[in-house]
Structure 1
Amino acid sequence: MQPLKMLNNVQKARLLHSLFTNEIPEFLGYLNELTETVLNDKERIAAEWKDQMFDAGLWFELAAEVQRVMAKYSKDLYKSSAVFADQLFGGFMAIFTAHALVQYTALGRNTDPKFKPAVELLFG
Structure 2
Amino acid sequence: MKTIEQLTNVEKAKIMFDLFRDEIPELLNYMEEINAKIETDKEPLIAGWNNPFFNYQQWLNLSDQVAGAIKRYGKNLTKSGNVFSEQLFGGYTAIFSNHCMEQYGLHRAKSPRFAVAVTLFYLPLKQSEPGDHQYLVLETHGGAAYAVICTDQDGNTLVFEHRKDAEAEAADCQEGLVVEI
TM range (shorter): over 0.9
Letter in 2 for 1:102: E
Determine if contact 2:31/2:100 at 8 Å carries over to the other structure. Answer: yes
- Would you say how many aligned residue pairs link Structure 1 and Structure 2? 123
The corresponding residue for 1:39 is 39
Shift of 1:69: 0.3
- Residue 105 (structure 1) shift: 2.2
Give the conservation status (yes or no) of the 8 Å contact 1:21–1:78. yes
1:112 is matched with: 111
Distance in 2 separating the partners of 1:14 and 1:43: 35
Within 2, Cα distance between the matches of 1:43 and 1:60? 13
Report the CA distance between 1:38 and its aligned residue: 0.8
Letter in 2 for 1:19: L
Shift of 1:94: 0.9
More helix per residue: 1
Per-residue deviation at 1:2?
A: 1.0
Are the aligned partners of 2:106 and 2:118 in contact in 1 as well (CA < 8 Å)? no
Structure 1 runs (4+) greater than 3 angstroms displaced: none
Query: 1:104: Cα distance to partner?
Result: 1.0
Which structure has the bigger radius of gyration? 2
- Residue 63 of structure 1 is matched in structure 2 by 63
- Quote the residue 1:13 is aligned against: 13
The one-letter code sitting in structure 2 at the alignment partner of 1:76 is: N
Structure 1, unmatched stretches of 5+, are none
What letter matches 1:122 in structure 2? F
Aligned to 1:77: 77
1:118 partner letter: A
Cα shift at 1:91: 1.3
Give the TM-score, by structure 2 length. Answer: 0.66
1:23: Cα distance to partner?
A: 0.9
- Using the TM superposition, give the Cα deviation of residue 117 of structure 1 relative to its aligned residue in structure 2, in angstroms: 0.8
Q: Is the 8 A contact 1:42 1:60 kept in 2?
A: no
Is the CA contact 1:13–1:85 (under 8 Å) kept in the aligned structure 2? Answer: yes
Larger proportion of strand = 2
Deviations 1:47-79 (A, max 9, x none): 211011121111000111111101000111111
The one-letter amino acid paired with 1:52 is P
> For the aligned residues, what is the CA RMSD?
1.0
SS in 1 for 2:22: coil
